[in-house]
Copies of this chain bind each other. A is one copy, B any other.
Amino acid sequence: MTTRSTPDTSRRSERSRKAILQAARDLVAETGYAKLTIEAIAARAKVGKQTIYRWWPSKGAVLLDSVLALSQADQDQDITLPDTGDIETDLKALMRATAAEFAAPAFAAPLRALTIEITADPRLADDYHKRVAAPMEEAKKQRLRSAQRAGQLAADADLDLILDMLYAPLAQHWMLHSGPLASDYTDRLVDAVLRAFSPRT
């Protein structure tokens, strides 16, 4: 009886792996989520379907790896955010950069497709948080802690709540096409959040 659950990683074709992730990103950016099928990815990557099914459990898992490869080209490296010493400046720059990513099809299209899969699949959501969201949030919290030490945020401020209040409204606008992604919006968002969590005077 052969166990089919664990293919031999050491013999995996790196060329095929990269071609599949690249094909998934290109296809979703060019033709949209609706036309992103396993068959289309395989054809585009010049790869047999079985090669995809062997290494990924679902289309969403392929997308997760695609987005991961896109967001940290430099791998296994801890993310560090700019620190000018002024939290308002840094957060506004960070939020503007995030909005710019949402506006760039090459980045936004795969991320939107992944978000759809995540919404429908809680297990994929777990993987996403562990491998993509958590490292990014940790970097942001580092920057917020630095601001706390500098007396620019209340000492007892809830950093997770701050990140939610900053990121969620922008992400919501982008995902549901429900509002602007412009920098004056993100600036006002940062202003409001800093007002809520400024040190007591």
Chain A interfacial positions (CB closer than 8 Å to B): 33-34, 112, 115-116, 118-120, 122, 125-126, 128-129, 133, 158, 160-161, 164-165, 167-169, 171-173, 175-179, 188-189, 192-193, 195-197
B122 with A177: CB separation less than 8 A: yes
Instruction: Please measure, in the bound complex, the distance between the C-alpha atom of A30 and the C-alpha atom of B145, giving whole angstroms.
Output: 44
13 A-B contacts (beta carbon < 8 Å): A112-B119, A125-B178, A126-B177, A128-B176, A129-B176, A158-B192, A160-B179, A164-B173, A165-B189, A165-B192, A168-B168, A168-B169, A192-B197
Q: Which residues of B contact A34 (CB under 8 A)?
A: 120
Closest-by-CB residue of B relative to A162 is: B192
What DSSP secondary structure best describes chain A's contact surface? helix
Instruction: Please measure, in the bound complex, the distance between the C-alpha atom of A188 and the C-alpha atom of B192, giving whole angstroms.
Output: 15
Given the known inter-chain contacts A120-B34, A188-B158, A196-B195, please indicate yes or no for A164 contacting B175, CB distance below 8 A. Answer: no
Q: Which residues of B contact A188 (CB under 8 A)?
A: 158, 161
